[in-house]
Amino acid sequence: MVRIIDYKQYTNEDGESFFALELQGGIEMVKSQKTERFYATARKVTIPSTFNEETCKSLIGTEMPGRIVKVETEPYEYTLKETGEVIELSHRYEYQPEIVQEAKVEKSSSTLDDFVKFENPVEQFSTNGVM
């Protein structure tokens, strides 16, 4: 499951603004490469939406089936907001909806004629225990 935790406003190439929803996956334990200690984190991703700001606000806290997955990409440069350091990445995160398979319904092979076979159902029952 993923949860909508926030929304952000962006402007597209045509100068039109739109809102994107920020999704967060479940908690994960990751081992630090520097300290070799574990820390808790969660994957996040933003996805564009057609919703207005009011709708985006009302969706915060909503859970949806699916998960956030790591997808390999061509290497690209990314600037860390906190430090300004430029690093090279070769992945991104994407929302992957859960594929819900419909339950297969077993249908009876009986027909209406099977149920109407008993022409005189009263004779099928004994009133004194003897047929």
**Predicted local confidence at residue 109, as pLDDT:** 75
With a CB cutoff of 8 Å and minimum separation 6, the contacts of 7 are 19, 20, 21, 22, 49, 53, 56, 57, 59, 60
* Within-domain flag for 72: yes
* Within-domain flag for 12: yes
* Within-domain flag for 56: yes
110 Ramachandran zone, left/alpha/beta (phi>0; psi -120 to 50): beta
* Within-domain flag for 61: yes
Mean pLDDT for back-to-back runs of 10 residues, the chain (131 residues): 97 96 94 88 96 98 95 93 89 90 74 66 62 61
Q: What is the pTM of this model?
A: 0.67
- CB 4, CB 55: distance < 8 Å: no
Q: Which contiguous run of DSSP H or E holds residue 20?
A: strand 17-31
**Predicted local confidence at residue 127, as pLDDT:** 66
